[in-house]
Amino acid sequence: MHSFGERLAATFVTNGHLCIGIDPHPFLLEQWGLPDSEEGLREFGLRIIEATAGTVGIVKPQVAFFERHGSVGYAALEAVLTAARDAELIVIADVKRGDVGSSVTAYGEAWLTPGSTLEADAMTISAYQGVGSISGPIALAESTGKGLFVLAATSNPEAVVLQTAVIRHGPFSGETVAAGIVGEVHTVNTSSNGMGSIGLVLGATVSVADYGIRPEHLANTPILGPGFGEQGAAFGDISRVYGAASSNVIVSVSRGVLRSGSGGVAVEIARRRDELAEAMGT
């Protein structure tokens, strides 16, 4: 069994670093001529999978837009996840779950268990209660070839105060909350030969240096980079933001591509893929 980090590294080589968000905002469904319903969600997701497969290798469904429709929304999401797995895409479930003990372990089981109707290759997760609180999902991910992306320095401006607060106790005392999370994730990944399977969410609109994050702690860590396009970051910013860790970054775009509509999304995805490859020199 290959680890998530190994599979992600292989995807970077064959399909590049671009990740397409599957975010069925109501306004996008309307632009695509689809109803804001189970049928519309399903069709929206399946069309994106069709446009993505063979062009890029990673997709990221934003679960909240499916969840707001309750059980029928989850039924639509399950169909989209199945199609993505059949297309051999790496799927990151953007769920941002977080809790302690058996509760967070159950979240992990929902999204990372092979054969689950919600099975994804990785999920986003919150460690607000401490990185140790998500030890269950970490162990599950490592035992099943799955991955996690732990929120560290996010692209929303209101997060700055909390994420740059200074830790007062423990091995990362004196460092920022973001830097402490990065350091603990780095420790988890130190046993990996090559890229680890426990990643970080580091927004492209933040300055890693301003958060006190040590570059050496990003060396073998996958990075999910939101904030490109609609939130202001450009592909040309990757090296400035992530430095030597740029080769580990999953570059996530959604609305900027999806606004092109059902008829134009495949062309727009291919264009962004080529622009990103040029910017990264790959």
The dihedral sign for the CA sequence 32, 46, 90, 87: negative
Q: Which of 85, 96, 214, 259 is catalytic?
A: 96
Residues 208, 176 contacting (CB under 8 angstroms): no
Give me Rg for the CA atoms of the chain: 18
C-alpha–C-alpha distance, residues 266 and 32, integer Å = 13
Q: Amino acid letter at 224?
A: L
C-alpha–C-alpha distance, residues 182 and 232, integer Å = 24
Candidates 253, 177, 238, 246; CA nearest to 205 is 238
96 is catalytic: yes
Name the residues annotated as catalytic: 96
